[in-house]
């Protein structure tokens, strides 16, 4: 661990004067004074107050602002203050001969900054977490070498629905851009594209697996959805490391209740190593939006995770990387038969449990025509804008979806 601090400090500005700390007057001067004190501590060898304490005060003050009112109304300035607090705490943890636990805590602190804060200093938290992760990986590999334990996953027999030929989503192999545009994008027709992600490193160079995820991201803290489906009362969100998520919800160690789903919009920004394993499908260039506006989502979970029937305001490519998933699709023209929730928050979600519908409450549902399919690794399902989709994983599964316009 001796060189860890030298690697981190090499990523910081060389002089205190070059370390930027600029805030609008929305941030009180007592807080900016505390930030300046932490900066001074970062560049001096001897300090009177503990750097950990100063960083914690900044974190506590900004955390309160982040948790007051709705997230939409939280001022970005306070999210920046929070990120600085995280950076100073990481420095305090790693400066003097950090233990393995200190390093793990530092990784968690960076992740909290990346999830809750706003970008500072050209993404410094991203740079620092990469350095820290290298350190954790080294020590995990050492531990594993002495373990030699073969880890097996309990795979329950999936409830695989019988797909009727006449309602199955059509498949096509590597269509040209023009053919995809004419036959599917313009008429807004769902289709499964085959052979278009075979070149992804996630499917060949280093195939995604539990071991690979542990290695690349095991110590990273990510938001996890807990509960069978997000429409359930008992559904909640929590923060876990990827290792904790795998142990509790995939390997079922410790008997965690319910289904855990790592369904995330930010995962690939938070962990760029995973983003390097995937590619934007070429067909996205047919959209009118900018490439930077494409949202890339991760969906990682055990068999049995369910995304209730819902619709999204963009085109979607749902790419299956690991395991299989059952998908049911309904056209937006049949929305009146799908009984969307009344509330503003869930108006894009149907009240119907697709595979076990309440026929009395939702009598029209059975009349709505649909298409269905089972996605296998390598398949990419085109879900046209506003098409209702219901998804259930049949086994351990990792998919990536691209929302584009």
Ligand X SMILES: O=C(O)CCC(=O)C(=O)O
Q: Which residues bind ligand X (CB under 6 A)?
A: 297, 299, 307, 312, 316, 318, 389, 391, 399, 401
Write down the least CB distance from residue 94 to ligand X, Å: 37
Write down the least CB distance from residue 393 to ligand X, Å: 7
Is the distance from CB of 139 to CB of 5 less than 8 angstroms? no
Q: What is d(CA 235, CA 101) in angstroms, rounded to the nearest whole number? A: 31
CA atoms within 13 A on the CB side of 98: 25
> Of 217 and 383, which CB lies nearer to ligand X in the complex structure?
383
> Of 19 and 230, which CB lies nearer to ligand X in the complex structure?
230
Write down the least CB distance from residue 235 to ligand X, Å: 14
Write down the least CB distance from residue 338 to ligand X, Å: 15
Q: Which residue has the closest beta carbon to ligand X?
A: 401
Write down the least CB distance from residue 196 to ligand X, Å: 16
Q: What is d(CA 76, CA 252) in angstroms, rounded to the nearest whole number? A: 39
For the stretch 368-386, what's the b/e string if a residue is b when 16 or more beta carbons lie within 10 angstroms of its beta carbon?
bebbbbbbebbbbbbbbbb
Tokens of 266: 């930010």
Q: What is d(CA 8, CA 127) in angstroms, rounded to the nearest whole number? A: 9
- The total number of residues written for the chain in this structure: 405
Rg of the Cα atoms in the chain: 24
Is the distance from CB of 52 to CB of 93 less than 8 angstroms? yes
**248 in helix, strand or coil?**
helix
Write down the least CB distance from residue 267 to ligand X, Å: 13
> Of 82 and 382, which CB lies nearer to ligand X in the complex structure?
382
Write down the least CB distance from residue 305 to ligand X, Å: 6
SS3 content of the chain, % helix, strand, coil (to 5): 40, 20, 40
> Of 9 and 297, which CB lies nearer to ligand X in the complex structure?
297
Closest CA to 385 of 328, 312, 296: 312
Write down the least CB distance from residue 399 to ligand X, Å: 5
> Of 124 and 318, which CB lies nearer to ligand X in the complex structure?
318
The neighbour count for residue 48, using CB atoms within 10 Å, is 7
> Of 283 and 299, which CB lies nearer to ligand X in the complex structure?
299
> Of 327 and 368, which CB lies nearer to ligand X in the complex structure?
327
Query: Residue 99: left if φ>0, alpha if ψ -120 to 50, beta else—which one?
Result: beta
Give the Cα-Cα-Cα angle 154, 163, 401 (nearest 5 degrees): 65
Angle in degrees, 0-180, between the axes of helices 124-145 and 210-217, rounded to the nearest 10: 130
> Of 269 and 312, which CB lies nearer to ligand X in the complex structure?
312
Write down the least CB distance from residue 40 to ligand X, Å: 47
Write down the least CB distance from residue 204 to ligand X, Å: 22
Is the distance from CB of 283 to CB of 317 less than 8 angstroms? yes
> Of 4 and 319, which CB lies nearer to ligand X in the complex structure?
319
The secondary structure of residue 150, as a DSSP letter, is: P
> Of 7 and 275, which CB lies nearer to ligand X in the complex structure?
275
User: Which residues 6+ apart lie within 8 Å of 18 measured at CB?
Assistant: none
């Amino acid at each position: 661990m001796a060189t860890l601090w030298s690697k981190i400090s090499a990523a910081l500005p060389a002089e205190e004067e070059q370390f930027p700390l600029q805030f609008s007057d929305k941030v009180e001067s007592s807080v900016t004074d505390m930030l300046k004190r932490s900066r001074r501590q970062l560049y001096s060898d001897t300090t009177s107050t503990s750097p950990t304490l100063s960083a914690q005060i900044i974190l506590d003050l900004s955390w309160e602002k982040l948790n007051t009112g709705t997230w939409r109304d939280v001022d970005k300035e306070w999210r920046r203050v929070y990120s600085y607090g995280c950076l100073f705490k990481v420095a305090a943890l790693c400066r003097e001969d950090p233990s393995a636990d200190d390093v793990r805590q530092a990784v968690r602190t960076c992740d909290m900054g990346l999830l809750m804060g706003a970008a500072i200093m050209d993404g410094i938290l991203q740079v620092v977490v990469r350095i820290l992760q290298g350190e954790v990986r080294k020590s995990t590999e050492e531990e594993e070498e002495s373990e030699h334990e073969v880890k097996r996953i309990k795979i329950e027999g999936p409830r695989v629905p019988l797909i009727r030929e006449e309602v199955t989503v059509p498949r096509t192999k590597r269509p040209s851009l023009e053919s995809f545009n004419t036959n599917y994008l313009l008429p807004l027709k769902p289709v499964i594209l085959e052979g278009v992600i075979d070149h992804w490193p996630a499917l060949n160079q280093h195939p995604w697996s539990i071991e690979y995820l542990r290695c690349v991201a095991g110590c990273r803290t990510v938001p996890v959805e807990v509960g069978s489906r997000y429409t359930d009362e008992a559904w909640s969100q929590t923060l876990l490391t990827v290792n904790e998520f795998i142990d509790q919800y995939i390997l079922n160690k410790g008997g965690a209740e319910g289904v855990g789903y790592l369904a995330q919009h930010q995962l690939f920004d938070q962990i760029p190593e995973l983003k390097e394993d995937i590619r934007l499908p070429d067909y996205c260039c047919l959209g009118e939006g900018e490439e930077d506006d494409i949202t890339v989502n991760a969906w990682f979970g055990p068999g049995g995770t369910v995304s209730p029937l819902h619709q999204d305001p963009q085109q979607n490519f749902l790419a299956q990387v690991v395991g299989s998933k059952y998908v049911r699709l309904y056209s937006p023209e049949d929305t009146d038969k799908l009984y969307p929730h009344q509330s503003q928050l869930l108006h894009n979600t149907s009240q119907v449990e697709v595979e076990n519908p309440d026929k009395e409450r939702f009598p029209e549902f059975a009349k709505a025509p649909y298409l269905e399919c089972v996605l296998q690794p390598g398949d990419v399902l085109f879900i046209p804008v506003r098409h209702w989709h219901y998804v259930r994983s049949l086994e351990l599964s990792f998919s990536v979806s691209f929302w584009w316009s």
